[in-house]
Amino acid sequence: MDVVIITLVTFSAAVLTFFSGFGLGTILTPTMMIFFPVEIAIAFTGIIHFSNNIFKLFIVSKKIDKEILIKFGGPAILASFIGSYLLFNIGGDKVLYSVYILGELRSVTFIKFLVSVLLIIFSLIDLMPFFKNLNFHKKTIPLGGFLSGFFGGLTGNQGALRSAFLIKMNLDKKVFISTTVFISTMVDFTRIGVYSSNLLAIDFSQYFTLGIFSILSAVLGSIIGNMLLKKITIEIIRTTVAFLIICLATFLLIGII
């Protein structure tokens, strides 16, 4: 059942993320937390996210904006290393509070609280008219890259902030997708390296089947997303993803996930 649920979620998120520039890691991370400890959930999501990005690099047009790549991608890679390191050194397993739901005591750890709050913030950025109408100057690109990479390494969710900044640059749709995929791949490569050095003692062989099905479903979702690229607007997908993320984040905050 675990394999079926995560495979379906991965497939759906992969279709959505192809348009919006975010969604796969943001949706998959809290879903993984239902079945695995936080650190493993974030690391495993990173591996799936990275594998999916590698595949997407082969099917999207290679129209990468070099200026955005350097000014945004450079700080993002550096910050992802910092965020990844902090993930394993901030005492994220400490329980912040507990709540009773349907007669059952549910505990919320620091890292779950942090992830859920960030998910809600990132989602509101895409739903509130103020942020939709907000235009970022090119001078803010390095700051956006740093924030995106940092939270990507710390929580596994880099795409929402990245898209929030880059969508305002009025890039061509294919340039936007190609550039964000390339930056995301570099950030994933960096944070997975840090994750792996902290998870060497864990036996991942028990997760092999789950990993294979998740990666294949993500690839299939990206293929379908590419086929639908000309038929669906980014705005519709971004709004749908944002509402789904708020629901997942709420479940995290009250301890259901």
DSSP type of residue 167 = G
Q: How far apart are CA 138 and CA 122, in angstroms?
A: 20
The amino acid present at 30, given as its one-letter code, is P
3-state secondary structure of 157: coil
Contact 218, 46 (CB under 8 A): no
Q: How far apart are CA 126 and CA 123, in angstroms?
A: 5
Q: How far apart are CA 32 and CA 20, in angstroms?
A: 21
What DSSP string runs through 88-148? TTS-TTSEEEEEEETTEEEEEEHHHHHHHHHHHHHHHHHHSHHHHT----GGGHHHHHHHH
| Half-sphere exposure of residue 86: CA atoms within 13 angstroms, side-chain side | 16
| Half-sphere exposure of residue 8: CA atoms within 13 angstroms, side-chain side | 4
Burial of 35 (0-12, 13-18, 19+ CB in 10 A): middle
- pLDDT tens for the chain, residues 1 to 257: 667 777 777 777 677 666 555 556 666 776 677 777 777 777 777 777 787 778 777 777 677 888 889 999 999 999 999 998 888 787 666 788 888 876 777 788 887 788 778 778 777 766 776 666 666 677 888 998 998 899 888 877 777 678 777 877 777 777 887 888 889 889 888 988 888 777 766 666 777 777 777 777 777 776 776 676 555 556 666 677 677 777 777 877 887 76
